[in-house]
Chains A and B, each alone.
Chain A
């Protein structure tokens, strides 16, 4: 069981470039989400999905797109990178209820110059 995997681990982008952060899980979880972690602010929810074909916005969705074509994969797309998107990005998966822990991937450290 690989759990939740993310690629790449590190990425540097120039302002205006686009890219996709990959996330995959092998636990057959319906619920997947993307968070960003900024210094002193904890983690904040960007987008989430309750199953294949269903996605919705979290707290800080602007500048990001997601899709969920399979249960396993949940990529996050940065449309036109901005320095404010410099952050560490975590993908998580879990069962859908309030009483289940979320399992996190190792994170992607993104720098936008």
Chain B
């Protein structure tokens, strides 16, 4: 089963409008972190926003907010006032303990390609 599901392979949004990128996750752990990363065409991975599993308030970071619904296991990214520079691939990820060893890992979804249009 997919641990992180991003059901929108591609999205279009008009400049200055808001857009929501969907992410659902699957875990039986009580402690985990949820992250969103942006990957522009240049290829680097840019951290956008984070939500801890015990955080009661939705995270916000500038034009980015994370709509966290723990019971539904969803962590949607909302980008307000879209800009042309927001065109990129967006990845949802969960940081969770590894089954063996003492470490943890980021599990990524397959991404959503966002295109902002004039």
Which residues of A are at the interface with B, using a C-beta cutoff of 8 A?
A: 31, 33, 35, 40-45, 48, 50, 56-59, 88, 90, 92, 96-104, 106-107, 109
- Contact across chains for B106 and A102 when beta carbons are under 8 A apart: yes
Residues of A within 8 A of B37 (CB): 104
Write the chain B residue with the least CB distance to A106.
Answer: B44
Q: Give the complex CA separation of A43 and B43 in angstroms.
A: 12
What per-residue 1/0 map shows which CB atoms of B89-118 lie under 8 Å from chain A?
001010111100111111011110000000
Q: Count A-B pairs with CB separation below 8 Å.
A: 72
Number of interface residues of B (CB under 8 A): 28
- Contact across chains for A43 and B91 when beta carbons are under 8 A apart: yes
B50 within 8 A of A: yes
Given contacts A42-B111, A43-B106, A88-B43, whether A99 and B91 have CB atoms under 8 Å apart is no
